Amino acid sequence: MKAHIQQLLEQAIVCLIKQQIIPADTQPRINIDRTKDKSHGDYANNLALMLAKPAKQNPRHLAELIVANIPESTLVIKMEIAGPGFINFFINPNFLEKQIDSAYSNERLNVQIEANPQTIVIDYSSPNLAKEMHVGHLRSSIIGDAVARTLEFQGNKVIRQNHVGDWGTQFGMLLAYMEELRAKGEPIENNLANLEIFYRAAKARFDESEDFATRARNLVVELQSGNEECLKLWSQFNETSLSHCQETYQRLGVSLTRADVRGESSYNDQLAVIVEDLDKQGLLQQSQGAKCVFLDNFKNKEGEPLPVIIQKKDGGFLYATSDLAAMRYRQNELNADRILYFVDARQGLHFQQVFEVARSAGFVNDKTSLEHMPFGTVMGEDGRPFKTRSGSVAKLADLLTEAEMRAYELVKEKNKEMSEQELRHIASVVGISSVKYADLSKNRTSDYTFSFDSMLSFEGNTAPYLLYAYTRVVSIFNKAGIEMGGVTAALSLTEEKEIDLANKLIQFDEIIKQVAKQGMPHFLCSYLFELAGLFSSFYEACPILIAETETQKQSRLKLAGLTAKTLKQGLSLLGINTLERM
């Protein structure tokens, strides 16, 4: 409601600037306060007092001018000028009541369906298959997934693209090692069970033996030119690695499937076409034997133009080349209106460059929006990028297992009588959602510190806090003996805490829009956290099951019910499941 009143006042300011009543550079801080005495309305504002001086007006008179320029609103029934020039707003409680009533009985909780749905390609997770997924892949996978779910919920056509790194020089080394194992008669499958160890062993061979390294380099060439035997080994490797990824997605509740995988290798036959196309358009230049595009906007420290290398001297293609091919595919075949990339902030320059090349070459048309959605690094408590105790990069699967184990201890502590099976289930939901929520609730552009203790806390902006808030409402309904969606009586808002909660509930739609537009799930997290907090204060001040009248009880149950539905829906957009008890 405050946001709404703020908007009304901002619009009045614009009008008054146009009428030259207040100076054009006026950008006042608008403070809106709840009134203590309801006979003065619900909200009060001191804008006229603040602007009186710059506008050289009597504050009461200015207040009258402001009120006269405030646009019509169904939410505000009356405005009054009080004292030296305060403006008091009287809110139409009917409006709020109607909104809550209708959201409560609406499957979508009144979240609007996009009037002009778009086709939105989302490139996320996209790990390199040479190794197992590690903590660095957490952010891309879960932030991308939350935004995908949100855009989909709005009615857009979302196309997920898992642009896995399944091509390039590292694969030569891996294939050479596979061949070596086979020659020794060792079963490859067993060795692939742990990709980390496999990778390290291959790398060790590569570093120690010149022969091996030469074989590895030859195998890349063989692979890229379509040698059957190489392709077979390569796909055996990728199958194993991809199934590891799928397992992790499953555990994490990330909605990517095998059908969403479209890795770098799938653009292989397009790479030469890209080079040809760029060349035809006169965009390519030779530089030290490599084919490059030079962009005016990108210069190095010495002020010389920075090249985007498209093809190396030895004929090999680069990461940028497959990204260009992918953009063209997403534009022409997938008909994207927006293409979003959830990729580490450290690849910012890469994306600026390939976006510009793609536009200059017409691979992507002007109407299609290309958006790098960067995210920061997961840090350890020592202030450096997160590592395991032994100092190696933390495997994502191990991290999730540890979270589940820690959650198990916590849940067991609180529920001594629970069956082992239920404990395990709850621990898994709490553990995984804590890891996810801790990440999603931070502004994605910043780095954050990974801490099991704070993510598993029942206090503060955490998954356990929200999951618990949800179970509280569930238990109220259980005690009342009715279904959460089963309240039929109309809403009647009288208490301040009820109105505060109702005001928050009707903002859900606004928040969803914000997340969808900016690709920032932390807005939704903050919203859910504030909602749960307002629910707590409401519940403390306004007894539900022992309310004074039946009407009041039903009305409060309805507010509680909509709170729970909103929490559940919000968490589900974040890819987090709720629990009925914990």
| Largest pairwise CA distance in the chain | 94
Q: What single DSSP character describes residue 347?
A: G
Burial of 118 (0-12, 13-18, 19+ CB in 10 A): middle
Residue 331 within binding range of ligand ARG, rule CB under 6 A: no
Give which of 528, 536, 540, 514 is closest to 566, Cα–Cα.
528
127 lines the binding site for ligand ARG (CB under 6 A): yes
Helix (H, G, I), strand (E, B) or coil at 285: strand
HSE-CB at 130 with a 13 A cutoff on CA atoms is 18
Could you say which of 97, 222, 323, 439 contacts ligand ARG (CB under 6 A)? 323
Classify residue 26 by burial, with Cβ atoms within 10 Å: 0-12, 13-18, 19+: middle
Nearest distance in Å: CB 324, ligand ARG: 10
Say if CB 330 and CB 362 are below 8 A apart.
Answer: no
Closer to ligand ARG by Cβ: residue 126 or 311: 126
Q: Which two tokens stand for residue 314?
A: 């030895």
Give min distance, CB of 452 to ligand ARG, in A: 25
User: Which residue in 216, 293, 343, 370 binds ligand ARG (CB under 6 A)?
Assistant: 343
Looking at beta carbons only, is 104 or 342 nearer to ligand ARG?
342
Torsion of CA 275, 176, 260, 330, to 10 degrees: 0
Q: What is the CA radius of gyration of the chain?
A: 29
Please tell me whether residue 128 binds ligand ARG under the rule CB under 6 A.
yes
SS3 content of the chain, % helix, strand, coil (to 5): 55, 15, 30
Nearer to ligand ARG, 123 or 132 (CB): 123
What's at 340, amino acid-wise? L
The span from the CA of 255 to the CA of 373, in Å, is 19
Q: Please tell me whether residue 165 binds ligand ARG under the rule CB under 6 A.
A: yes
Nearest CA among 89, 87, 8 for reference residue 47: 87
Supply the DSSP string of 449-510, one letter for each residue.
E--HHHHT-SSSSSHHHHHHHHHHHHHHHHHHTS-TT---SPP---SHHHHHHHHHHTTHHH
2 versus 350: smaller Cβ distance to ligand ARG: 350
Pick the binder of ligand ARG from 4, 131, 139, 163 (CB under 6 A): 163
Quick one: which of 99, 126, 321, 552 contacts ligand ARG (CB under 6 A)? Answer: 126
CB closer to ligand ARG out of 344 and 402: 344
Measured from the CB atom, is 26 or 119 closer to ligand ARG? 119
Nearer to ligand ARG, 55 or 326 (CB): 326
| Nearer CB in complex with ligand ARG: 161/428 | 161
Under rule CB under 6 A, residue 262 binds ligand ARG = no
Q: What is the DSSP letter of 349?
A: H
120-128, 207-215, 440-448, 569-577 -> range binding ligand ARG (CB under 6 A): 120-128
- Asked if 52 touches ligand ARG (CB under 6 A), the answer is no
Q: Whole-number minimum distance, CB 245 to ligand ARG, in Å?
A: 12
Of the two residues 208 and 269, which places its CB atom closer to ligand ARG in the complex?
Answer: 269
Contact segment (CB under 6 A) with ligand ARG among 125-133, 145-153, 293-301, 526-534 equals 125-133
State the distance between the two ends of the chain, measured CA to CA, in whole angstroms: 34
Stretch near ligand ARG under the rule CB under 6 A, chosen from 54-62, 126-134, 168-176, 451-459? 126-134
Q: Using N-to-C axis directions, what is the helix angle for 550-573 and 93-104, rounded to 10°?
A: 60
Phi, psi of 152 (to 5 degrees): -65, -45
CB 16 within 8 A of CB 65: yes
User: In this complex, which beta carbon is closest to ligand ARG, that of residue 375 or of residue 468?
Assistant: 375
Residues numbered 359 to 398 that lie near ligand ARG (CB under 6 A) are none
Footprint of ligand ARG on 536-575 (CB under 6 A): none
Name which of 123 and 222 has its Cβ closer to ligand ARG. Answer: 123
| Binding range to ligand ARG, per CB under 6 A, among 121-129, 145-153, 391-399, 418-426 | 121-129
Choose between 170 and 462: whose C-beta lies nearer to ligand ARG: 170
Stretch binding ligand ARG (CB under 6 A), from 48-56, 76-84, 119-127, 204-212? 119-127
Binding span for ligand ARG by CB under 6 A among 43-51, 123-131, 427-435, 565-573: 123-131
Task: Please work out the total of residues on this chain that contact ligand ARG, with binding judged by CB under 6 A.
Answer: 10
Examine residue 353 and tell whether it contacts ligand ARG (CB under 6 A).
no
Least Cβ distance, residue 322 to ligand ARG (angstroms): 8
Q: Restricting to residues 481-540, which ones interact with ligand ARG according to CB under 6 A?
A: none
- Which helix (H) or strand (E) is 323 found in, with range? helix 319-332
How many residues are there in the chain? Answer: 582
Please report how close the Cβ of residue 375 comes to ligand ARG at its closest, in angstroms.
Answer: 12
The backbone torsions φ and ψ at residue 310, rounded to the nearest 5 degrees and listed phi first, read -105, -40
Determine if residue 519 is left, alpha or beta; phi over 0 gives left, psi from -120 to 50 gives alpha, anything else beta. left
Of the candidates 123, 152, 260, 498, which one interacts with ligand ARG according to CB under 6 A? 123
| Shortest Å distance, C-beta 310 to ligand ARG | 15
Distance CA 90, CA 78 (A): 5
Residue whose entry in the numeric block shows the structure tokens 């291959």: 202
| Binding stretches for ligand ARG (CB under 6 A) | 123, 126-128, 163, 165, 323, 326, 341, 343
